[in-house]
Structure 1
């Protein structure tokens, strides 16, 4: 037997108290980085969003950085709880992020997607993002033993003109 269940979602600013329930989004090192970005949000440099059902517990998160490129909001650190992927939550999150960008008077959204993540790229293309370049990228990751290592990858740079 299968049943369709409709869950109402809302988007709000992420707060420090959310980090305790976001272990699905990354390592302790990653969540410490998110905490630093929440401080940047206080200064208006970024928006950091949480998508939540009625419980108020985030099931998706992502940031918009307004300092990367003049005239654009740059989406980054987008993540949906693994058990809830392919349910439309990522589309909902990106729509909310684009609205935030437009509300700042900007008309362009940008993002970088790892070339080895075709599912994410397909989502962005379906939502109207177009690749315009590629570049290497790297960041610190936390190994299971707690040590840090440098993760290196290549990303497609994508943009979308917002109406």
Structure 2
């Protein structure tokens, strides 16, 4: 289990440090993960947890001391025989830029190594430069592009198709 701390500086005279840990995401965690996406997204995550039980994927959660997930993400071992493919990486917006994404990715890389694989891959939307900058800081390099699409549930319950272009990135572990 990886552990770390969240450090928040709200003023020049106060620092808050909160211990965190990384574990498998569980079905019981999903009600606490509404920040990560729509109800449609969470239903998809729930389906992925069934794949995790079958060993096809790992789905991780970075958790606070009261065991609430503040960052989540998956690793799919079925996409490539030679790599673990990370996807659906998300950090609670209020806690972004506190090292949680880095901790999540490093934990995912360790899971990939534990499977005997030596490469990690991911795709990042071209219109998400902040995430791409994080991946580049962590040693990921772009090697291609591909379109991606998924259905999103709107606030009114309507379903709309989200289409985007992604940069494919990888890192040797």
TM-score under structure 1 length normalisation: 0.98
Q: In 2, Cα distance between the equivalents of 1:25 and 1:68?
A: 23
**Is it true that 1:11 corresponds to 2:9 in the alignment?**
no
- 1:24-103 alignment, distance < 5 Å: 24-103=35-114
- 1:88-127 alignment, distance < 5 Å: 88-127=99-138
Structure 1, unaligned stretches of length 5 or more? none
Q: Which residue of 2 aligns with 1:23?
A: 34
Cα deviations by residue, 1:44-93 (Å, 9 ceiling, x for unpaired): 00000000011100000000000001110000000000000000100000
Runs of 4+ in 1 over 2 A off after TM superposition: none
Instruction: Report the CA distance between 1:4 and its aligned residue.
Output: 1.8
SS of equivalent residue, structure 1 residue 23: helix
SS of equivalent residue, structure 1 residue 99: helix
Instruction: Report the CA distance between 1:143 and its aligned residue.
Output: 1.1
Provide the aligned length of Structure 1 versus Structure 2: 162
Q: In 2, Cα distance between the equivalents of 1:147 and 1:39?
A: 26
Q: In 2, Cα distance between the equivalents of 1:24 and 1:139?
A: 18
Structure 2, unaligned stretches of length 5 or more? 1-10
CA RMSD of aligned residues (A): 0.7
SS of equivalent residue, structure 1 residue 109: strand
SS of equivalent residue, structure 1 residue 30: helix
1:151 counterpart (115, 137, 162):
162
Q: In 1, Cα distance between the equivalents of 2:18 and 2:115?
A: 29
Name whichever structure is richer in strand by fraction.
2
Q: In 1, Cα distance between the equivalents of 2:15 and 2:171?
A: 32
